Amino acid sequence: TQLLEQSPQFLSIQEGENLTVYCNSSSVFSSLQWYRQEPGEGPVLLVTVVTGGEVKKLKRLTFQFGDARKDSSLHITAAQPGDTGLYLCAGRGNSGYALNFGKGTSLLVTP
């Protein structure tokens, strides 16, 4: 099993602030995905990154895949209460089919 560590575990910020959450591993991943999960619901796919050094933007969210494809970050600009949720990263190794998940960063954005 290829472990993914996410930090911070919890984050509480005010509306309008910027934040970055991290997803790190000692293993190389062929692709990495970010999901957001709201209480009582399943994770919703936000983005998939596949190329080392790749940067993808989704409105106020910026995702980066590390050059060595072992880590990733998610940056949110001007956070809004609607961004509240559990952010999960998941990676698929070079040889396996299984998707390995980090334990997530729980984000709370207050008005």
- Using CA atoms, how far apart are residues 111 and 92, in angstroms rounded to an integer? 36
58 near other proteins, judged by CB under 8 A:
no
Regarding beta strands 71-76 and 10-14, do their DSSP bridges make them parallel or antiparallel, or are they unpaired?
A: unpaired
Among residue numbers 17 through 36, which ones bind other proteins (CB under 8 A)? 33, 35
CB nearer other proteins, residue 44 or residue 58: 44
Q: Residue 78 or residue 98: which is nearer to other proteins going by CB?
A: 98
Q: Say if residues 33 and 58 touch (Cβ distance below 8 Å).
A: no
- The Cα 50–Cα 73 span in angstroms is 13
Mask for 65-104, x = binds other proteins (CB under 8 A):
-----------------------x-x-x---xxxxxxxxx
DSSP 88: E
43, 66, 85, 91: residue in contact with other proteins (rule CB under 8 A)? 43
Q: Which residue has the tokens 């980090």?
A: 102
> Which residues would be at the binding site for other proteins (CB under 8 A)?
1, 33, 35, 40-45, 48, 88, 90, 92, 96-104
